[in-house]
Amino acid sequence: MKKLLSICFGIGFGSSIFAAGSTFSATNLPSVAGQYNCSYYSTDNPNVPAMLTLTTNPPVGGPPLPGTGATWDFSQPQQPGETILRTDIISPANGMDGGSFPDAAYAEQDTTETPSGTNQSAWRYYGITDQGRSYYGFYVPDSDADGLAVFDPPTTDIPPTVVYGQTWTRATSWNTTVEGIYGIYNEFSDTVTVDASGTLILPNIGGVSALRVHEIQGYTALLDGYVPVEIATNQYYYWLVPGLGVAVQITEYGVNTLEPTYPLPYTNSVERMFYASYLPKPLPSPATPVNLYLQLQNGSACLTWNPFTNSAIYQVQSAGSLISPNWQALGLTSNTNWSDALSPTQRFYRVIGFP
């Protein structure tokens, strides 16, 4: 007798760190030495267009109604090709070339963790005041260019408060050298829009309300200060979550319009947070399953359930074993039912509710 299906029903609630439609404050950003977070990190990710798709969008000036905000699902476990990127908050004095940023109050240090070891890859220097987050510059080691960038002037990359529909601009410049010989003057400007509000679903953390920020970044490099050698426009997206900070980041790198065939190291990069040492509170325990049903109809497993308290979005997951650490997300729905084609192998299901 062939075993077709085994079913496990479970209901859980993702954490809701703040209410949908709330503002984000720059003081919500991690800024205390010793704090850190970890993200899955990838480059040349072919799924970026889907990650940026808006399901729905609330009207400017008001919070989204239940079930009507945008939803972005980044909850998948670590995928092939993803490394772990750890970002630590440290004293500026402990960062590479930290003495070049005397006004910075703290630094973010990126470290890539792989099975073969670790690699410190970047340092960014900041301070938070009643004017927002001041960004003083960075140090990123490079094969041929001096990695130090001291912004003149520093920019406010995140205002003191951020709300849906808000816009701002910023511009700065810095000097560097290539191969220690050629002087390069770098110009940077961007236009920023908080273009969406909704639910962000993170691996291990669950569903949180978030604001998505979209930047159109312009970059020009001038040899000896007047001969343009690179002009590029990049698209940068990030999601702000009080209690977490910048929880997801996606960068799409534009080509150099002066040298279109000049090879870039990668076309995009994606960071999606799965752990933060400074989470404001433990995640709630899963609730007891209530009124979940399964019927086998027309070659499908048909799941139905009652609405969860304080949940507008549901994620259906499956696994081949109850003790599996890697439950696979089948999809999101605002309905209270789901159909999945029968499989000849054993399969367990669970349903997670998100605000």
The pLDDT tens digits of the residues spanning 285-315 come to 444 456 778 888 888 889 888 887 766 677 7
> In this structure, are 229 and 298 located in the same domain?
no
Residues 237 and 293 in one domain: no
- Report whether pLDDT(19) > 70: no
Q: Is the pLDDT of residue 65 over 60?
A: no
Gap between the Cα atoms of 343 and 341, Å rounded: 6
Mean pLDDT throughout 251-280?
Answer: 89
CB 239 within 8 A of CB 213: yes
Give the number of other CB atoms < 10 A from CB of residue 157: 19
CA–CA gap between residue 314 and residue 330 (Å, rounded): 11
Measured in whole angstroms, the distance separating CA 344 from the mean position of its chain's CA atoms is 36
Tell me: do 89 and 168 sit in the same domain: yes
Instruction: Answer yes or no: is pLDDT of 170 > 90.
Output: yes
| CA distances to 103, 104, 134 from 154, in Å | 10, 10, 6
User: In Å, how far are 23, 228, 310, 320, 335 from 211, measured between CA atoms?
Assistant: 8, 36, 19, 35, 24
Compute how many other C-beta atoms are within 10 angstroms of the C-beta atom of residue 50. Answer: 10
Of 221, 245, 276, which one is at a domain's C-terminal end?
276
Same domain as 322, residue 270 = no
Supply the pLDDT for residue 20: 39
Residue 1 maps to a domain: no
Whether residue 6 is contained in a domain is answered as no
Query: Is 2 part of any domain?
Result: no
Instruction: Answer yes or no: is 295 within a domain.
Output: yes
Structure tokens at 136: 């003083």
Please check whether residues 261 and 302 belong to one and the same domain. no
Rounded CA separation 193/214 (Å) = 5
Residues 185 and 117 in one domain: yes
Shared domain check, 268 and 324: no
CATH number at residue 139: 2.40.360
Whether 316 is covered by a domain: the verdict is: yes
Residue 334 DSSP one-character state: S
Same domain, 318 and 223: no
Residues 224 and 259 in one domain: yes
Domain boundary among 243, 276, 309: 276
Lowest mean pLDDT among 48-57, 74-83, 242-251, 296-305: 48-57
Helix (H, G, I), strand (E, B) or coil at 49: helix
CA distances from 339 to 11, 62, 308, 315, 347 (A): 17, 34, 19, 12, 13
What pLDDT digit, counting tens, does each position of 131-162 carry? 999 999 999 987 666 889 999 999 999 999 99
Q: Give the pLDDT confidence score for residue 130 in this predicted structure.
A: 94
Same domain, residue pair 268 and 188: yes
Q: In the chain, how many domains are there?
A: 2
How far is the C-alpha of 222 from the C-alpha of 184, rounded, in Å? 6
Average pLDDT over residues 222-242: 92
Task: Identify whether 182 is part of a domain.
Answer: yes
In a domain, 4, yes or no: no
The residue ranking higher by pLDDT, 355 or 155, is 155
Q: How far is CA 342 from CA 107, 209, 297, 319, in A?
A: 51, 34, 9, 13
Average of pLDDT values for 96-108? 96
Can you give the residue range of the structural domain that contains 146?
Answer: 24-276
Q: According to the model, what pLDDT value does residue 90 have?
A: 97
190 in the same domain as 86: yes
Six-digit token pair at 49? 């267009």
**Identity of the residue numbered 270:** V
271 and 322 in a single domain? The answer is no
Q: Which of 276, 300, 333 is the last residue of a domain?
A: 276
Q: Which helix (H) or strand (E) holds 48?
A: helix 48-51
Cα separation values, 244 from 28, 80, 123, 237, 280, Å: 7, 25, 19, 16, 8
In a domain, 173, yes or no: yes
Task: List the CATH number of the domain containing 286.
Answer: 2.60.40.10
